Structures are given as C-alpha cells and as structure tokens.
Structure 1
Amino acid sequence: MSLPLIMIATAMVAFTLGGLTLWPFIRRLDNRLTDALWQLEHDPVTGLLNRAGLLAAHATLAEADSAGPVIVVLIDLDDFKPVNDTHGHDRGDEVLVEIGERIHNIAALHGGTAARLSGDEYAALLPVRTDDLARIADTFVTLISEPVELTADGEPVTVTVTASVGLALAEVTDPFEEVALRRADIAMYHAKHHGRNRHAIYEPGMAMPAPDNRRGPRLRDRGQLDGQATA
C-alpha cells in the first residue's frame, strides 16, 4: 500500500475511534440539553407547563393553519396557605400535584393543555369545541373540590381545597397575556369576589373588581400598568 493510502486509512481509523470515544459524551450532552429545555418550559413541582411553556403552546396554536378561537381558563385555589401551615410544605406540594393532575386531565379531555403559573395559580388553554363554557368551568370547580387523600406523620389526612375559576374566549391571534389571559384574570377575580368555589365567564366590558375586594396584585402582574382595567 502506498504511503498516501496508508495515511488516509490511518486518518479514517483515528476519526472512527475518536467518534466512538466522543459518542457517549455527545449523548450525555444531548440529554442534558433536552432536560434543560424541558425545565425552561415546565413547573418543577407538578410537571405541568409553566408560564413560558403556556406562552409557547399558545404561539404554536396561533401558527397553525386551522387556528381558531381559544378558551383560556385561569384557576386560583381559595385559601391554600392553611394547607401549608397545617400540614407542611411537602404535603402542600402533594396537594398541588394532585390538583395539577386533575386540571391536566380536564384540559386533555377537551384537547387542550394545562399549566401552573405560580404558587396556587393554574391555567388551561383549550380549543373551542363547544359554546357551553359554563359546563367546562363547572367541571374544573367540581373536580378540584374533591378531597385529596394524604399521609401526614404516618396518619391518613383528607384535605379539601376549592378554586375560583375564570374563563375567557379569545381569538388565537389576540395577544395572549394582554388580552386572553387578562380577560380570564378579570373573570377569576369576579368568581372570587362573589363567594369563591365558583366560576365566572368574561363578558365584554367586564372590569376588575375594586381593590378592596381583591387580595392584591398577582405575581405575574407586578410591574404592569394598573390602568389596564378592562380587556
């Protein structure tokens, strides 16, 4: 074999061996990148989408050729703090996971997706398959209020939480946070203002209840202009 051919063969063998050596590293790196991307769009406690993931899901719907109106559901658990105070944050997280699974199952049943936005606040994004929004809202309210069975200090514990649910109908091309989610937020506050453990559906012209009837700005609303009272 001539010297050039020997050199080429040697280079090919070295490249192949080098590739085989690097492959486990490349695979580990790919797994880490996949995991990092998953964490960017998912809540670490419940495994649901987080706010960024919900925005991405909405953007995907908006880009679809068959894009149509969407239903945005905003869910705020009523007086969840006593659960943590009484049973501890670990048991509180178990409740959040269970409630998240219920919300996910309802959303999936309607062809949509669910998210945990922050603390005890969840959201769902659903395609419009029915005009009976009240039935959808009642399903969320009813299933969330079902008891959650836990074990605390070795003893069985039953925890029941309720939720205030706001629904809004919006075009998928509407700005998600400024219009769709804002409308659902206004409706949710109306549900909370009128007794909690119930739902409200956004109607044109509906305004945010007076500050005295609210529990303060939400985490995701801080820094936004207070002048956006209607959407």
Structure 2
Amino acid sequence: MLSLDGLTGIANRRSFDERLVHEWERAKRHKAPFAVMMVDIDAFKRFNDTYGHQCGDDCLRQIALSLKQTAEQYGGTAARYGGEEFAVILPRTSPSEAAAAAEAIRANVERLAIPHGSSPAACVVTVSVGAAVTVPQPNEGAQTVLSLADQALYRAKQNGRNRTEVACPICE
C-alpha cells in the first residue's frame, strides 16, 4: 500500500493514522509530551469555485510542501488528512514549541502569497491551525489528542480564520 498522497506527495491519511498510533504509544511509554495539529485551508471551496480545480490542485501542492518543510523543522511529520485538511504530528513537543510550530505553519502558508480574492480571511490563501499538546495517559488512545486538535481547529475557524488555537490539558 502506498504511503504518499497522490496529489501532494506528502504522507497520506493511512500513513498518518499508523504514525499517530506509533508515536502516541512511544510518548505513553516515555511519559513525553506529544502534539498533533489539524490544518484547514480557509475558504478553499470558494478558491476552487473562483480559480478552478487545476489552480486548487496547485494550491494544495504548494501548501503541502510548506507544511512538510515546517513540520520537519520541528522534528515532525505532515500528512494530507483529506480534501483541504492536513495533519501534523510533533513527537516530544512542549506546549510552547507546539504553539510556535502552529504559528510558523500559518505564517509560512500566508507568505506563499497565493491570491484568493474571494476569501473572507485575507486576499491570499490562508490556513487555520488547531493544535493539541498532551502527555498520553494509560487509559487514553491516540484519538484523544486528535479530538482536542480538531476542537482547537474549530475554535480557530470560529474566531475568524487565519489563526492558530492550542488545546493543552497539561497546561491547566
């Protein structure tokens, strides 16, 4: 089974799911902090409707490369999660490192300066990022951190898009 997304060339959902469980179990054994990010392209349907699917595919490829490079700078892995949504795994990552990585992802995509005249967030393509940082507990599965990241992504969208939100149960 191929582990790369055919369009973007980065890890696919299946590869992400396998890596998530592997890294979660490792973090659990070592009682280490663990971060996951969900990244969603803001108003991507409008982008496709305005510029066409070929431009949409080019946009996805550029963003995927940016995410991959940024994730690797922080010791992580980026994957296409589905459609215009991506996910990032950052093992052994503190809350402050996760917040910095999330902001770097957001800013690097904005710096691509891909025109988006129909976006309510900006005149260029932007992303919203939901990050979650936790130390895995014995009775929790990897879906715990994924759910927290998804909730943080929802908050980023609700609070205006083109922003990051971090959920951190270990910070409370």
Verify same fold: TM over 0.5. Answer: yes
2:164 paired residue number: 199
Verify the 8 A CA contact 1:46 1:97 in the aligned structure 2. Answer: yes
* Deviation digits for residues 128-165 of structure 1 (CA, Å, limit 9, x no counterpart): 34431322221111111123569xxxxxxxx8211111
Cα distance in 1 for residues equivalent to 2:80 and 2:67: 10
Structure 1 residues 191 and 63, CA gap change in structure 2 (3 angstroms):
closer
Which among 128, 150, 160 is matched to residue 164 of structure 1? 128
1:115 paired residue number: 79
Cα distance in 2 for residues equivalent to 1:129 and 1:182: 18
| DSSP 3-state at the match of 1:145 | helix
Name the larger-Rg structure: 1
- Give the TM-score normalised by the residue count of structure 1: 0.62
Cα distance in 2 for residues equivalent to 1:61 and 1:136: 18
Letter in 1 for 2:62: E
* 1:93 and 2:19 matched: no
* 1:52 and 2:18 matched: no
Q: Equivalences for 1:41-190 in 2 at 5 Å? A: 41-64=3-26, 66=30, 68-132=32-96, 133-148=98-113, 160-172=124-136, 174-177=140-143, 179-190=144-155
Structure 1: gaps spanning 5 or more residues: 1-36, 151-158, 205-231
- Give the TM-score normalised by the residue count of structure 2: 0.81
| DSSP 3-state at the match of 2:160 | coil
Q: Displacement of 1:62 after TM fit? A: 4.0
Cα distance in 2 for residues equivalent to 1:62 and 1:183: 14
Cα distance in 1 for residues equivalent to 2:81 and 2:155: 19
Verify the 8 A CA contact 1:98 1:148 in the aligned structure 2. Answer: no
Cα distance in 2 for residues equivalent to 1:184 and 1:161: 21
Structure 2: gaps spanning 5 or more residues: 116-122
Aligned Cα root-mean-square deviation (Å): 2.2
Verify the 8 A CA contact 1:166 1:200 in the aligned structure 2. Answer: yes
Structure 1 residues 172 and 57, CA gap change in structure 2 (3 angstroms):
farther
| DSSP 3-state at the match of 2:95 | coil
